[in-house]
Chains A and B, each alone.
Chain A
């Protein structure tokens, strides 16, 4: 009977935490935004999401089969990538572009660098950046919200181009419309309200912490308010916060584990860095948005940030560092 005893290193008990549970939490947190998108843009957006998710999952399975590695699609991480990619596309996007995007995200950005946890850029955002360069027209073909009738919004344009040009401020939709999502924009970014519901869930579940989102959003709000088009402290900080995918980016993409710092101070630097780059692009760049590029740039800086922000350990003597 003695031979049946199992010997292994301590600890002998493990928590219920698991990768698939974390990914499932992220998926659950993204559902309100999908519902908002369907209400605002119609059922087609669901098709975009499904194609993107299937594309990502099937690409992952095929690559792992080809490379004779265990197929790990049940960890749900490819599903998350698929959803986030779809959320970064306009509702009118041709499905074949969606498919190409999900293949790029998984094959090129994730699996080519070693798969789960090894990628150095956010797969969905990197794929979006490539699609944006390849099909700029399709990637900016915004759709008027179906529920325009209930609001004063008159344009399918996203608020960001208007914000760039102070003279047309009159065209700005009411802030409330921007907050709930009665505006044009990418599928998953338009309803800050829906996204914040999901974000609250992730914070409560401990999947993400406040450091990156809060410092990111705070920095953008502050900088865009200070450097307004009519002089200092005239900017529309709140409009900037609730439009252009900032909420989606700050809570769901800048917090991506593999591509953001693991150290507490590093996370704050990541948030502030994303905020500064986003604000600079939005205020003086030639391009209305800035969320995805700012996150991608900070992704690349992550290893460097981590190196210099290692927490001081218990009992560490200062001159020892």
Chain B
């Protein structure tokens, strides 16, 4: 297998990687707290209905939130114990969500329904059922229910599956460590996905700053013929789905369309590994690897965290805060969400928590746009961020739509590069929201 270096489009940015905090730290199991807070919505789509009530005994891996509607994923208990209460609780994306609080009995008694299968014999339908029943969602960041992604409409011909192992966000190393430590699960997961979709071609895209992951995955692929590693140039946002597809297959997803429109399905490497684990062990998605990192935490680590563990719990486990915190970011520094409290439960979409000390969080003075065009140069979608932003700030959302605001992938490269420190991405996101709301109201 040749090692070619693939890069996407012109543009992109090179923020400091800051992966050194955790890239060499093996994944360790985090302590499971006495109380877990499990929100009933941890995915894009409808919230789940609780299937338990306060006082009920639950087992590890038992369904506690039942799927409601197609675009949804069931929620399972991450511990065994007793349901304490069901209360609205703050989550990483700001809003309060109905959350099941469970008292952990520390026994980790698994639910009876958990039965592993032989991954070599399992059928496509059985895999798909497992993906649905195990509550698997996109673990990169998107949390889109994976069973929906793996059930394309009959008229869409899928030709290839791409696993996204770019992990282009600075600081984050969860995908990286998983590829190094569990390459067989990643490759096995890809093979299961290929079986579900009945495709012959699989790619794994990994940035060239992770040579150990590339080596491990290459070894795991072994002689399996139809899976190819694509080594990607380290550049942000290399892991942006649309650009990854263009880099690897040369195809462009049509504006407003989905990857399946060009015959491609993209999944994150961690999602693939989870599919493999859930099929082989029967255990649904109840924990994930989270990179706990940044200068603001004493002992940065990659932790395997049970869902419902609070950010404050893992702070303790990582040696506490090293100084006065400035920002606590769920996700990476480019696309992550800054939190107002440390009592946020870790859920399916949390791939990292970055602790930035106060002195790293500068309030930058916003200057007028000098039209340097750097935002145009770096935009992976080749939008004109300066123009969309200017119209958005004036409330001219129709013009924003004409300028393709809806195609923005919200990578933040424009805001990152702007010498005038203008809120480009923020204002484009606002325009997108207004345009989407208007369309919804029209229908």
Chain A residues within 8 Å of B, Cβ to Cβ: 1-2, 4-15, 17-19, 21-22, 72, 75, 77, 114-118, 257-258, 262-264, 310-317, 320
Contacts and interface: CB of A to CB of B under 8 A. Distances in A.
B386 interface: yes
B370 A320 contact: no
A310 B405 CA distance: 13
A15 B15 contact: yes
The B interface is mostly helix, strand or loop, or mixed, namely loop
A118 B367 CA distance: 12
Contact of A13 (B334, B404, B420): B334
Contacts, number: 155
B280 to A, nearest CB: 36
Contacts of A313: 255, 381-383, 404, 407
B327 A19 contact: no
B419 A22 contact: yes
B374 A17 contact: yes
Interface stretch (B108-116, B129-137, B336-344): B336-344
A315 B261 CA distance: 11
Contacts of B349: none
Nearest to A116: B368
B425 A258 contact: no
Contacts of A310: 384, 403
B254 A317 contact: yes
B265 interface: no
Given A13-B334, A14-B421, A19-B367, A314 B381 contact: yes
A106 B266 CA distance: 54
B381 A12 contact: no
Given A22-B370, A263-B376, A9 B383 contact: no
26 contacts: A5-B328, A5-B338, A5-B340, A6-B327, A10-B329, A10-B333, A10-B334, A10-B336, A10-B338, A11-B416, A11-B425, A12-B354, A12-B356, A13-B170, A14-B421, A15-B417, A22-B370, A115-B368, A117-B369, A117-B420, A118-B368, A262-B376, A310-B384, A314-B253, A315-B254, A317-B255
A4 B419 contact: no
A72 B328 CA distance: 33
- Per CB-CB distance, the 6 closest pairs between chain A and chain B, nearest first, are A11-B412, A262-B373, A17-B419, A9-B426, A117-B370, A12-B333
B364 interface: yes
A72 B367 CA distance: 9
